[in-house]
Amino acid sequence: MTTKSKIAIIGLGNIGKTIAQNAVKGNRPVYIASRKKEDATALAQELGNLATPSDTADAIKNADIIVLSVWFNTIQELFEQYGTELAGKIIIDPSNPIAPDENGGFKKIIGEKESAGQLNAAILPKGATLVKAFGTLGAGSLAAAAYQHPEKSVLFYASDDATVDNSIEEFIHDNGFDAVKVGGLDQSIRIEVFGDLHEFGALGKTVTVSEAKSKI
């Protein structure tokens, strides 16, 4: 039996919390960390013994795959602070480079043709591998669409390193979704907010595998 990759979720906002909840539902152990240790402890108590509260440094040390479920601008800070610890790790980046606009909606905070995936890949700590995933749905759909039956909904991902794809797809499956790869990190823009494969872009909804593959 193949041992599954160990998972750490850094950041317990709406997305991070939902990923942790879905993982535990899929019988997948997770380390969870937040700026406030008490937030991680409280969520772990809610989720049960598959969730282990931790500080960020220990969560990174103990895991193989690190989900950085934090704001886009915070990822750079974490890269700088934990660059040495992140060497050899697979980093999942669900971030969307957006901020509230003056009309009650959101606006992109990087260039129109730039993607968070490519910008974060350019400053990636040495020896780490970046994967763009878990950012194609809003937190509401990430919770509500998990473990759909009879056909699962899809989470898209992008990766430049095919050797990590099986581990990523396994974790997406253990979050209650089917995984569909869109290509390398140069395709990240398609699965970020306003992209053609994002819930809050041209796609506009969750999709099944057959629907997803018709759009790639």
Rounded CA separation 76/78 (Å): 5
Rounded CA separation 47/191 (Å): 29
The tens digit of pLDDT for each residue in 31-77 reads 999 999 999 999 999 999 999 999 999 999 999 999 999 999 999 99
Picking from 82, 22, 71, the residue whose alpha carbon sits closest to that of residue 51 is 22
Query: Do 79 and 86 form a contact (C-beta atoms < 8 A)?
Result: yes
- Which H or E element spans position 155? strand 154-159
The tens digit of pLDDT for each residue in 147-176 reads 999 999 999 999 999 999 999 999 999 999
pLDDT at 2 over 70: no
- The pTM is what? 0.95
Check residue 216 and give its pLDDT.
85
Check residue 3 and give its pLDDT.
83
The mean pLDDT value of the chain amounts to 95
- What torsion do the CA atoms of 168, 131, 8, 30 make, to the nearest 10 degrees? -20
Residue whose pair of structure tokens reads 């795959």 in the numeric block: 65
Measure CA 194 to chain center. 17
The tens digit of pLDDT for each residue in 81-124 reads 999 999 999 999 999 999 888 888 889 999 999 999 999 999 99
3-state secondary structure 88-102: CCEEEECCCCEEECC
Q: Domain 7-213: state its class.
A: alpha beta
Residue whose pair of structure tokens reads 């003056």 in the numeric block: 102
If you average pLDDT over residues 8-25, what whole number do you get?
98
Q: What residues are paired with 131 via a beta bridge?
A: 92, 159
